[in-house]
Structure 1
Amino acid sequence: MWVFGYGSLMWKVDFPYEENIVGYIKGYKRRFYQHSTDHRGTPENPGRVVTLIPCKEDSKVYGIAYKIRETDIEDVINHLDFREKGGYERKKVVFHPKEHDIPPFEMTIYLASDDNPHYAGPAELDEIAFQVVNSVGPSGPNIDYVCNLAKMMRSVVPDVHDDHLFTLESKVLGLLEKQNGDFNNY
């Protein structure tokens, strides 16, 4: 079994795996259209996290695929089903490794459809940035989620520019600088 990380699963891998591969899936775009009331926000003040939105077949979302040992599959699925309980569901997709000598293969992703109760939907990036800067949940500040994801994308696929993510990160850091006068921790 393989699992695709395109959000917090890129930097917060809290399950056992035996191999990871950088690559992409097609036909989706990564967007901060999902509310987080259990990790990066609260029910009263939800944060924003990513989900995948279906779009043009040739679009790509880069991330990391994790191969789960046969003996760990049940435990990892139970763990991820609980971790991703805020509106996410499992789906099978085809993963395309960035390394060209590995053929595409089927894997599992967690995505939140637009009919789940935590779906926030599209909004102006300034509005999303304001929400991110002002949201904190049990897993920490929503700012950390945005900045960690941007940092991981620059690290694992430095040649790929995720405009939605990097523009949001810039807006979040700009708001943080206005509020605190400093954002050196990010």
Structure 2
Amino acid sequence: MSDDRHTPDPEYEITRERLARGTLLQALRADPPPGMTVRSDAELERTLEATLEHHERGRDLHVFGYGSLMWNPALDFAGTSVARIDGWHRAFCLRLVAARGTPEQPGAMLALDRGGLCDGVLYRIDAAKVESELRLLWRREMLSDSYEPEWITAKSGNQSIRALTFVVNRLHSRYLGGYSLERVAHLIRTGRGPLGTSQDYFDSTVQALERFGLYDAGIERLLCKIRDAEINGV
């Protein structure tokens, strides 16, 4: 793996405290990169309320994490479990122009795309904290219109659990549908922004999957492409 790392700008680091203060939103609103629309507080609240209309108040809520939520949930959760969802797969399918990329050095970001299956982590949020925790999560995952909230069914052991997750907006201009594995691997290897590199993000994904004992064929194929490119100096 690459050792080309640098110290992230603390304004872009994802912590509960910074999410509560809206630090990342403020930084992006002050200087939005070309091609990125940052939602207003009113828009965030509206989309959150629309999503919660499909959740029974007074009940715990599960969130399915497949990317950075696996190693940095920044959530106050009551329990976790490994789970699988059908009909969606983990994919580096969003061109990244903020945080771990810029318009000049774009990276690639994970989302759930249609088809296949995905193993990840379920976080159970206590009923009394659902609204407050999702409000923080919205500031992280819904700050632009590249993701869409989706209710899915996750299998954990013998249980089928209704959960909330975030899937790619295929109509978005930064959607990488149709990109070859080589082009995505290049974005991961070269993407760099104020939060760090896309390579850091990819490495953290690989390490989290290993830690939870999960296998992802798509990530393994990308890993091979990245290693080949590093060996050949492409």
> Would the aligned equivalents of 2:106 and 2:190 in 1 still touch at CA under 8 Å?
no
Cα distance in 2 between the residues matched to 1:41 and 1:96: 34
- Structure 2 alignment gaps of length 5 or more: 1-60
- 1:143 maps to 199
Instruction: Summarize the alignment of residues 122-133 of structure 1 with structure 2, pairs less than 5 Å apart.
Output: 122-133=178-189
Offset of residue 177 of structure 1: 4.8
Offset of residue 120 of structure 1: 2.1
Asked if 1:118 is matched to 2:149, the reply is no
Asked if 1:91 is matched to 2:145, the reply is no
Offset of residue 104 of structure 1: 0.4
- 1:172 maps to 226
- Deviations along 1:38-84, one digit per CA (max 9) or x if unpaired, are 222123332111222222xxx32000010112232222222222211
Offset of residue 126 of structure 1: 1.4
Instruction: Summarize the alignment of residues 16-165 of structure 1 with structure 2, pairs less than 5 Å apart.
Output: 16-55=76-115, 59-84=116-141, 85-86=143-144, 87-97=146-156, 99-100=157-158, 103-158=159-214, 160=215, 162-165=216-219
Q: Give, as a single letter, the amino acid of the residue that structure 1 aligns with 2:169.
A: S
Cα distance in 2 between the residues matched to 1:130 and 1:51: 18
> Would the aligned equivalents of 1:23 and 1:63 in 2 still touch at CA under 8 Å?
yes
Cα distance in 1 between the residues matched to 2:230 and 2:133: 36
Q: Give, as a single letter, the amino acid of the residue that structure 2 aligns with 1:93.
A: I
> Would the aligned equivalents of 2:96 and 2:174 in 1 still touch at CA under 8 Å?
yes
Larger CA deviation: 83-92 vs 1-10: 83-92
Larger CA deviation: 59-68 vs 168-177: 168-177
Q: Which has the larger radius of gyration?
A: 2
SS at match of 1:81: helix
Q: Give, as a single letter, the amino acid of the residue that structure 1 aligns with 2:151.
A: K
Alpha-carbon RMSD across the aligned residues, in angstroms, is: 2.0
Offset of residue 178 of structure 1: 5.0
Offset of residue 122 of structure 1: 2.9
Q: Give, as a single letter, the amino acid of the residue that structure 1 aligns with 2:104.
A: E
